[in-house]
Amino acid sequence: MRSKLFVPGTRPELFAKALAGEADAISFDLEDAVPEPSKTVAREQVVAFLRSEAAQESRKLLIVRVNAADTAHFAADIEALAGAGLDLINLPKVESPECVRSAVALIATAERAAQVEAATPLLLTIETPRGLRAAAAIAAADARIAGLQLGLADLFEPYGIARNDAANVHAAMFALRIAAAEADVFAYDAAFADVVDTHGYAVEAAMARRLGFLGKTCIHPRQVALANAAFQPDESEVAHARRVVAFAQTAAGRSTGTFVVDGRMIDRPFLKRAEAVVAAAAARAAAR
């Protein structure tokens, strides 16, 4: 999931266009991009599209950012989305493990009512100081949690923290990445509001890649190519990862905790990274 493109739930004319684009994942938004009077209509439009043949046959990851768990719209969102064929539910403004467990209980109830067999995974957005402080505990709160996503606008803007200071951005990214690593879930990078500033987007994406993030959010189609380029492993990296995995599967590789490939010492952390690179390359090849 190198790129995840947000599409407002109030813009159904953009749904099919987004699905046909180059983003690895489409995130239909029922939260910030939807005005209060339009919440019900947006929900209905998104659910109808998710149940369409085009969406069901698509190989893209399909995500919905629902309204926050403490809002009046959350329960209706979850009830409507149960059984709609989602790959991930994006839960915003998560601040505590208790919030996650409460949300999971409601989701599980809705899935049972809809006779959904598989539990839908969760992507949790960390976008408040309290949420960032508790991020590791939040990430470990339930087995459904697939990843943590950083939300820098809400985390920075109310407190006068400069987004254009790379040190500030790096500090937040690092804290989230380490919290995700502790829980063994993926970390996903934040949106970038200035859709004209392609250089700024690319710089942030490159920083996120160096920190081990899975990909970066896009709020405009022109950002998709930037995210895909930033998080695309080059051929040499994939080839090295395949050699590492292949050696680890041999008797020689299984007989010791460490081994050498391409002149580099390999142990379990490096093997796990190689396995992730190989899996991602295989997933991209299958999606073509």
Write down the pLDDT at residue 264.
80
What's the predicted TM-score (pTM) here?
0.85
Q: What is the pLDDT of residue 288?
A: 64
What is the model's pLDDT at position 60? 86
Query: What's the pLDDT tens digit per position in 1-11?
Result: 899 999 999 99
Question: What residue spans of the chain are helical by DSSP H?
Answer: 15-19, 39-50, 53-57, 74-81, 97-113, 129-133, 135-139, 152-156, 166-183, 198-210, 224-230, 235-248, 251-254, 268-287
At 175, list the tokens: 């804290």
pLDDT > 70 fraction of the chain, expressed in percent and rounded: 95
- pLDDT for residue 251: 59
Q: What is the pLDDT of residues 157-180, one digit of tens each?
A: 999 999 999 999 999 999 999 999
pLDDT over 70 (residue 257): no
pLDDT higher than threshold 80 for residue 205: yes
Q: pLDDT value at position 256?
A: 64
